[in-house]
Amino acid sequence: MPNCKEQVYSNDFFDFVIPYGEAYFMSGPDTCIQRIEEDFDILYYPREGLPPLSIADYSYSEIPKCFGLLDRTALEASGILQMQIQPALSLTGNGVMIGFIDTGIDYTNPIFRYEDGSTRIVSIWDQTIEDGTPPEGILYGAQYSSEEINRALENENPYTIVPSRDENGHGTFLAGVAAGGMDIEHDFIGAAPDAQIAVVKLKEAKQYLKDFFFVKDGVPAYQENDIMLAVAYLDGLANARNQPLVICIGLGSANGSRAGNSHLSTFLNYICTRRKRSVVAANGNQAGTRHHFLGQLGGDMEYEEVEINVAEEGKGFFAELWAAVPELLEVSVTSPTGEEMRRVPAREGTTAVYRFIFERTTVSVDYRIEAKATGNLLIYLRFLNPRKGIWKVRVYPRNTVSGIYHMWLPLQQFTEGDVFFLRSNPDTTLTIPSSASQVISVGAYNAANRSLYADSSRGYSATGVVKPDFVAPGVNVFGPDRRGNYIRQTGTSVSAAITAGAVAQVMQWAIVERNAPAISNAGIKNMLIRGTTKPAPIDFPNTGWGYGALDVYQSFDLLRR
């Protein structure tokens, strides 16, 4: 039998996300399969003897995408504090579990404990620890129960018992903002201070995936399949405890059509339909990065020219062109010195590779029909060792109806140097999985002056679904760091954490206290949308604010009318 734990961690094995059942037809004697609930499997396959990772040789949708962290007087502005202190309600998240899929948690921080000093953390699954005991049915990582965490807290050296640490601090901050207890000395309290906490610390993406997606050295990146398995783990944990669960996702990816049909988005939509489940995702911080181009080929246009500025030389970058069925487009590429990669014919499965002589740059173009349910067109352009200057992509119509297409560049923190479109569009810059239709997608605004955070990613989704659903405070928000101090952070991941706490308040009132026990994720989302405040004179919904700014108090107040 193969050593499956080794395959999970080893860079010598490819990871593929496969629809359930198909993995068994692809597996061999040296492969391992990890089941993810009903619909998906993870296949670990030896790389030896196989072609290097490419869109030409492997399915785009089955390659795990790399996800990055979305961070760059909030509770009162959101109506959360009012619901905590309202005598008849006193909504503090009691009886609700909030699950965090992130960089871990500082479990020793007093804000994550009860008054008697015991932990409020139900479980930690640390995917990075290779020599521990993994959760039942999972091949890797180490799980630590509340009993083990309590024993660690009573020990002079807690990390000898529970060695899980948050070396980054992002997960600790989000958990504190969403569910941290009261710290009177520092005038701090989380949105749902009595909620129970479950944590998945993600392992970093394998190096071959970071190389393929040109992730800059030293920047945290996480794999789609590890996130999907984390979601399944939290769902199973809540099932075993028969508890309502809010999952907070403060990560995002720039890979995909923003139509809400990636593997992770599909899985989250499924989770959102289950009883006592809700998912909150950050919208991203990409509006000001100039990483989105909106194109339209109309009339008698021979082509449209898309200009990409490469400010300094680096390892490379990718650009994804997406168009809805039945659009059929073709591209050519021109280098800064005028050398041309001629128009590549659009045929499913076509791959073209061109080496620019003067730039010493290699560009590959792949045509794919992606997403079985939609048949959308993907043209994947990969620039290896690009020379600085203006690169021109000409987009030609072959068969068009609306002529509309989108192009996206990677997450800004993943790219070396400054790469951007000269004629960019700030809309449809939301990251995945916030484009998933059932997920509660949250942008960021500044509660101090009621202005939209300039970099908060905008909607709508590529299919016109209103995203974000609303915005929450996400500028200079006060919260704990990984060393027990307090800092301020900005970004939509912070807004997602605040919203996760607000959802826990609603779940306490509706499910735990049985005022509306059959409420669904959609019902919670609609309740919060109805209560949003709408700064004048803006028309709502819109691509920046969604339906408005989160106000939990107003959401409950409307129930009385």
CA 444/CA 423 separation, integer angstroms = 24
Res 512: pLDDT: 97
Amino acid present at 427? D
In the predicted model, what is the mean pLDDT of residues 466-487?
94
Q: 3.40.50.200, 3.40.50.300, 3.40.50.920, 3.90.550.10: which CATH number matches 74-287+432-560?
A: 3.40.50.200
DSSP state letter for 549 = B
pLDDT tens string 427-438: 999 999 999 999
Report CA-CA distances (Å) from 496 to 171, 235, 424, 546: 12, 19, 26, 14
CA 549/CA 297 separation, integer angstroms = 36
CA 21/CA 35 separation, integer angstroms = 10
Amino acid present at 529? I
Q: Is 299 or 204 the better-scoring residue by pLDDT?
A: 204
Q: Which conformational region is residue 306 in: left (phi greater than 0), alpha (psi within -120 to 50 degrees), or beta?
A: beta
Per-residue pLDDT at 74 exceeds 70: no
Per-residue pLDDT at 498 exceeds 60: yes
H-helix or E-strand spanning residue 26: helix 23-26
pLDDT tens string 234-246: 999 999 999 999 9
Lowest pLDDT segment from 12-21, 372-381, 474-483: 372-381
Please report, for the chain, the start and end positions of each structural domain, with discontinuous segments joined by +. 4-50, 74-287+432-560, 292-421
Tell the CATH topology of 292-421.
Jelly Rolls (2.60.120)
Share of the chain above pLDDT 90, in %: 79
Closest CA to 510 of 468, 551, 552: 552
Lowest pLDDT segment from 48-62, 327-341, 381-395: 48-62
pLDDT tens string 115-162: 999 999 999 999 999 999 999 999 999 999 999 999 999 999 999 999
> What mean pLDDT value characterizes the chain?
92
CA 50/CA 35 separation, integer angstroms = 24
Res 76: pLDDT: 54
Per-residue pLDDT at 73 exceeds 50: no
CA 457/CA 467 separation, integer angstroms = 9
